[in-house]
A and B are shown apart, each in its own frame.
Chain A
């Protein structure tokens, strides 16, 4: 079976990060995902570097590149249809595709679908079981609906930024766009729920998922502390809230994560660090360590800076402590646990060549064959084949639309 979602048809009108991660999960599970791209510009994320060609900056020029790291990863196992939605003929084709789809995912700015004449109420008339997932920065309603945002604005409005970074420095965002990627994940879960409901009842619906709201949904302790006690969380740098010896520390070849707890395991930490002083009764409890946090750190550091991250990690783990280390990209690609579990997949791409990709985020038992692994599409690579398989368009029909400039067929390489 090629994927758990074999046979599910997805019309993908997403671009950049949040929407494409949602549809990447759907295509990875075997859904038939048609990614609609503008014939000339393609998905905007195609232009963002680095590229397999070695260029690191964003690209300029007339043709969108095929080999950007972000595009290649976020669009695996999808098919690209190059279709101009600004033309009325293009919108007609899209409506025909929407009539056949089980799911439509889009992340235009709110109102974008309406302006294309593709509002959910229009689409639903043709296809009452259609699930339409709309992902946007702030949602389809509310006073900030039309605000513009980059990742850090979402992270900030979602409450996560206030609690990341050093107390005396500016609030910090994550290095990865986790608000957008996480929202894409939640959009995948929401879409699956709506698909199951549509299949069981015949009733489709629209999902309104706001990226900033995703961030507020995962605040957990940071929000509950305030909601319950009126006490605010703030930035604490690399130390845990109300904890000491709980965070990221430098070591000989990088950084490690020391997690001291529970209390009855503290003597193990003291033993690993080889410092008698750490067994001091003052440090035995979480509260005691917190009160003497700087002193505890000072006793741990000599051991840490003389040892390698993996050795420290394993010394902790072999003693039943949840130590970790800060993995670099090289570390990830070489990690024995991931290699042993055959986590990575190698995909060959006509422009980018062979690269190692992280595989399934979650792998059901092998016999189920839940995921499919295929490279990202070239711009318009599947225009003709997809219009044939979804709409039974003849070659002549496709040629005429190509002549009109409504469609383009990728040339391949």
Chain B
């Protein structure tokens, strides 16, 4: 195992990470980015389902060139973008020897984190009280969909559901149409990011007091926390929010407008009168800046459809980047709607190193989202690719627990650890 560079903020902390899919892994990704030692523990019978199926149907998941290969679970981009700089181990908790190993791992970890369905770990006998026997100052982060108490505690939740149950989906959609899901499941990174910050506060608290704690994360509560302004607004007005498409209640116009090419769009917003004047002038459309139909915010709102048509006609023959440049030079908020290839080729993101190229043993060189912020003293870096299933079993069990090669072989032979999945019921 590697010694993390000195200048990484969380290098002194070890996290035993039982979390899966996205919410928990995003939390521990941020920890890994900051230098924490993440031991990602999976079961051979139910590994992290973000690795994809053992025998995938055609056309699902993200395999290099669409090829699942011999070990598809090691080749899925969904998983491989969330576990860089983490160690990967496997362990079966259903077997006594596996439990003994697990308890030793707990005893050397600062944090245990999981986002199983509520009560799963408890059914294996591992309550916080029990875990604390092995590590008295342990911080245990449990993040089931609806938290560890309440009538819905046993309910299942995915990120897609959290967008709906938090009210986000109620706000999103075209004008006059139904609610719309977003292209990603926002509930997951929202919960993961909240959890990362609160967990650091808990570690800091432990540093001062010597005391660990149980952190009960409800993914739903974490998502509703971002809805606060609308929850207050509803109490103030008695009105449910209306879906506004791309428009804003505060300024006009705002929308995405068609550009030259297939499915090419540019977003434009004028957030105050000066920007509106600049926008109108920059389009070069005669008289637009003085047209009484658009002279005030109220008029632009009332005549938004007509304004959209006029702006859309102006943009539709131009490239999205070209429109953006004209408008940004005039001080008007604008940006192209970027697609996958655009993101990886964009000059700004290249300049900032937003995406990083990482070499994965079963995938080769591919681009991934990197560390989501820059730090002047502790810049950090992606240190290694996402682990293949059980990749670091030997290092972790030998270097951290002091197991001998023979003992590790025995775990391997008895199916308690390994590198090949044994289950087939993985979605």
Residues of chain A with a CB closer than 8 A to B179's CB: 248, 255, 326
Say whether B214 contacts A159, CB under 8 Å: no
Confirm or deny: B283 has a beta carbon within 8 angstroms of a beta carbon on chain A: no
B11 to chain A, nearest CB (A): 9
Confirm or deny: A320 has a beta carbon within 8 angstroms of a beta carbon on chain B: yes
- 29 A-B interface contacts by CB (under 8 A): A25-B194, A73-B228, A147-B333, A150-B269, A156-B256, A161-B267, A178-B186, A192-B200, A194-B378, A196-B9, A208-B375, A220-B78, A220-B81, A225-B77, A226-B340, A227-B340, A227-B368, A256-B164, A287-B57, A322-B158, A326-B164, A327-B165, A329-B231, A337-B153, A338-B221, A340-B149, A340-B151, A362-B195, A364-B214
Say whether B231 contacts A222, CB under 8 Å: no
A320 to chain B, nearest CB (A): 7
Confirm or deny: B338 has a beta carbon within 8 angstroms of a beta carbon on chain A: yes
Confirm or deny: B285 has a beta carbon within 8 angstroms of a beta carbon on chain A: no
A348 to chain B, nearest CB (A): 13
Residues of chain A with a CB closer than 8 A to B407's CB: none
Most buried by B among A56, A74, A327, A330: A327
Q: Given that A148-B333, A175-B243 are known contacts, is A225 also in contact with B62, CB under 8 Å in the complex?
A: yes
Interface majority SS on B: helix, strand, loop or mixed? mixed
Confirm or deny: B66 has a beta carbon within 8 angstroms of a beta carbon on chain A: yes
Q: 1/0 per position for B238-273, CB-CB distance to A under 8 A?
A: 001101111011110011111000010111110100
Identify B183's interface contact among A162, A213, A355, CB under 8 A. A162
Please give me the residue from chain A that is nearest to B81 by CB atom.
Answer: A224
Say whether A358 contacts B225, CB under 8 Å: yes
Residues of chain A with a CB closer than 8 A to B236's CB: 50-52, 54, 67, 69, 352, 355
Residues of chain A with a CB closer than 8 A to B354's CB: 213, 216
Number of B residues near A (Cβ < 8 Å) is 154
A227 to B342, CA, bound (A): 11
Residues of chain B with a CB closer than 8 A to A25's CB: 194, 197
Confirm or deny: B123 has a beta carbon within 8 angstroms of a beta carbon on chain A: no
Query: Which of A77-85, A259-267, A297-305 lies at the binding interface?
Result: A259-267
Confirm or deny: B104 has a beta carbon within 8 angstroms of a beta carbon on chain A: no
Say whether A197 contacts B232, CB under 8 Å: no
Please give me the residue from chain A that is nearest to B172 by CB atom.
Answer: A175
Confirm or deny: A117 has a beta carbon within 8 angstroms of a beta carbon on chain B: no
A157 to chain B, nearest CB (A): 4
Say whether A190 contacts B373, CB under 8 Å: yes
Q: 1/0 per position for B312-341, CB-CB distance to A under 8 A?
A: 000000000000000010011111111111
Say whether B232 contacts A72, CB under 8 Å: yes
Query: Which of A90-98, A180-188, A389-397, A400-408 lies at the binding interface?
Result: A180-188
Q: Given that A205-B375, A232-B339, A343-B221 are known contacts, is A365 also in contact with B57, CB under 8 Å in the complex?
A: no
Confirm or deny: B415 has a beta carbon within 8 angstroms of a beta carbon on chain A: no
Confirm or deny: A325 has a beta carbon within 8 angstroms of a beta carbon on chain B: yes
Confirm or deny: B217 has a beta carbon within 8 angstroms of a beta carbon on chain A: yes
Confirm or deny: A388 has a beta carbon within 8 angstroms of a beta carbon on chain B: no
Identify B234's interface contact among A226, A235, A324, A329, CB under 8 A. A329
Interface residues of B in 196-210 (CB under 8 A from A): 196-198, 200-205
Interface residues of A in 96-121 (CB under 8 A from B): 120
Confirm or deny: B422 has a beta carbon within 8 angstroms of a beta carbon on chain A: no
Say whether B347 contacts A143, CB under 8 Å: yes
Confirm or deny: B108 has a beta carbon within 8 angstroms of a beta carbon on chain A: no
Say whether B216 contacts A364, CB under 8 Å: yes
Residues of chain A with a CB closer than 8 A to B367's CB: 227
B132 to chain A, nearest CB (A): 12
Most buried by A among B166, B230, B331: B230
A143 to B250, CA, bound (A): 28
Q: 1/0 per position for A253-282, CB-CB distance to B under 8 A?
A: 001110101111000000000000000000
Residues of chain B with a CB closer than 8 A to A323's CB: 161
Residues of chain B with a CB closer than 8 A to A330's CB: 234, 240
Most buried by B among A343, A359, A364: A364
Say whether B339 contacts A165, CB under 8 Å: no
